[in-house]
Amino acid sequence: MPAIPLVENTFFDNCRFWGSLLYRPYRRGDVWAMKTGIVSADLNMAWSEKPLLSGDRRAIREVRDFYARDGLPFWWWVFPGAAAPGTAALLGEEGFVPVESLPSMLADLNLRPAPEAGSAAVCVVCVENERQRQLWEEVSFAGFHFPAPARASFHRFVEALPLTQAAPQKLLLALTDSAAVATALLFQNGPAAGIYFVATLAQHRKQGIGLAITKAAMHTARQAGARWATLQSAPEGLSVYRQAGFAKCGCVEVYSPLTGSGFAP
Those residues with Cβ within 8 angstroms of residue 66's Cβ, 6 or more apart along the chain or in another chain: 26, 33, 35
Residue ranges of domains in the chain: 3-103+251-261, 109-249
Please give the DSSP secondary-structure letter assigned to residue 90. H
* CA distances in angstroms from 204 to 76, 147, 160, 236, 252, listed in the order given: 32, 20, 28, 15, 29
Residue 19 exposed, middle or buried by CB count within 10 Å (0-12, 13-18, 19+):
buried
**Is the pTM value of this prediction over 0.95?**
no
pLDDT at position 236: 84
Q: Which residue type, as a one-letter code, is found at position 47?
A: W
Which stretches of 94-195 are DSSP H helices? 130-143, 151-160
Question: pLDDT truncated to tens, each residue of the chain (265 aa)?
Answer: 588 899 999 999 999 999 999 999 999 999 999 999 999 999 999 999 999 999 999 999 999 999 999 999 999 999 999 999 999 999 999 999 999 999 999 999 998 765 554 555 899 999 999 999 999 999 999 999 999 999 999 999 999 999 999 999 999 999 999 899 999 999 999 999 999 999 999 999 999 999 999 999 999 999 999 999 999 998 888 999 999 999 999 999 999 998 643 323 2
Q: To the nearest 10°, report the CA torsion of 162, 166, 170, 173.
A: 80
pLDDT at position 261: 37
φ, ψ for residue 22, nearest 5 deg = -125, -15
Q: Are strands 96-108 and 45-48 parallel, antiparallel or unpaired?
A: unpaired
Q: Are strands 123-126 and 179-189 parallel, antiparallel or unpaired?
A: unpaired
At CB < 8 A and 24+ separation, what contacts does 84-87 make?
84/51, 84/52, 86/51, 86/52, 86/53, 86/54, 87/48, 87/51, 87/52
pLDDT at position 198: 97
Q: Which CATH class is domain 3-103+251-261?
A: alpha beta
3-103+251-261 shares its CATH topology with 109-249: yes
At CB < 8 A and 24+ separation, what contacts does 66-72 make?
66/26, 66/33, 66/35, 67/33, 67/35, 67/263, 68/262, 68/263, 70/35, 70/37, 72/35, 72/37, 72/39, 72/44
CATH code for the part of the protein at 109-249: 3.40.630.30
Those residues with Cβ within 8 angstroms of residue 150's Cβ, 6 or more apart along the chain or in another chain: 38, 39, 40, 141
